[in-house]
Amino acid sequence: MAKFLSSILFGIVWIFSLLPLPVLYLFSDIIWLLMYIFPPLRYRKSIVRNNLSLSFPDKSKRWLRRTERRFYYQFACQFVEALKTVSAGKRWILRHMEFTGMDKLVQETINGRSGIGYLGHVGNWEWIPSMNLFFTHVDDFVGGQVYHRLENPAMELFMYKLRNRFGTVSIPMEQVMRRFLSYRKDGKKFFIGMIADQVPLWWNIHYWTQFMNRETPVFTGAERLARKLDLEIWYMHITRKRRGYYRCDMQLVFEHTADLPEYAVTEKYMRLLEDNIRECPELWLWTHNRWKRTKEGFKEWMAEHPAAYNNNKK
């Protein structure tokens, strides 16, 4: 049943996506306008305002409201851009999603190196899998992204199809280590994107850092994988050139990771991400309740669930 519903949804969205992007933007403009005529329609407005005000305490109220408006405008644009992905061709997507630094990344892969690409929920991250089009001539290569399974089976299948349109593979979080070891055993090179700016669950919290002016728990699983397999670390710096056109600068951060100090990779990622957000704040996903877990709450949870936490650390 889920497969049937997913196919129906994909077909409907495919027909809708055939409209030119400027026409689709008429819908996003209407959505954005309605959100400002009817404030209750602004998705997670209180979280967005709180996140912005605490992240930029030195900014004026006028600046914060302007950034909030620009964020919701971008939010509405991304919705129709994601729909357009369903029917987007190779030439179209590479016109709208520009990559720099790909020559070096491809050459590193040809030379036998594998890596992890860190990025955040910045700009249109759903178009990032199109970078796989640069690797069509590379033998024994796997490009992909790690994702969190959705609870709705039909939406899970829909998003799986959407994200794999350009030949990438989507790897569930719980299968990452197994897949990496399998690729290495089979002699395959791989480059896997990981969005690691979300809030970890209580039992996955192993490191805290200062991020956007607040003490923040962060994911460290990608770093543990990288150090175990001595993978390259790249940061994918995303900016918007204009509406519907983005740029991703591929930055090689660490060529080797096996001998790095613990949390050096995670700390560097958080600093690069913070710089990326401060450069273009309206592009980050401010609706995410990023700071809902505090150190005080973590201590309370630890006191109640010591066994669960210790088992997860093993």
Beta pairing class for 97-100 and 208-211: unpaired
- 125 within some domain: yes
- 300 within some domain: yes
Average pLDDT over residues 89-116: 97
- 118 within some domain: yes
Helix-helix angle 45-55:61-84, to 10 degrees: 120
Q: What is the pLDDT of residue 312?
A: 61
Q: What is the pLDDT of residue 36?
A: 86
- Minimum mean pLDDT among 35-44, 210-219, 243-252: which range? 35-44
180/143 Cα distance (integer angstroms): 11
- Provide the token pair at 12: 């409907």
Q: What is the pLDDT of residue 217?
A: 97
Beta pairing class for 208-211 and 232-242: unpaired
pLDDT exceeds 70 at position 308: no
Q: Which amino acid is at 314?
A: K
Q: Which amino acid is at 214?
A: R
- The domain in which residue 308 lies consists of 92-313
- 147 within some domain: yes
Alpha-carbon separation of residue 147 from 52, 131, 279 (angstroms):
26, 17, 26
Question: Each residue of 131-163: pLDDT tens digit?
Answer: 999 999 999 999 999 998 877 887 788 888 888
CATH number of the domain encompassing residue 291: 3.40.1130
Alpha helices in the chain (DSSP H): 2-17, 21-37, 45-55, 61-84, 90-96, 102-110, 153-163, 176-185, 221-229, 264-279, 295-304, 306-313
- 279 within some domain: yes
Total domains, the chain: 1
Q: Which of 116, 292, 150 is nearest to 221 (CA)?
A: 116
- 15 within some domain: no
Q: What is the pLDDT of residue 7?
A: 79
Other C-beta atoms lying within 10 Å of the C-beta of residue 293: 18
- 138 within some domain: yes
Question: Each residue of 175-195: pLDDT tens digit?
Answer: 999 999 999 999 999 999 999
145/170 Cα distance (integer angstroms): 5
Q: Which of 44, 42, 25 is nearest to 290 (CA)?
A: 44
- 139 within some domain: yes
- Return the residue matching tokens 């592009």: 283
CA angle 115, 158, 160 (to 5 degrees): 15
- Provide the token pair at 281: 């704040």
DSSP string, 183-230: HHHTT-EEEEEEE--SPPPGGG---EEEETTEEEE---HHHHHHHHHT
Average pLDDT over residues 279-290: 97
The 3-state DSSP class for residue 293 equals coil
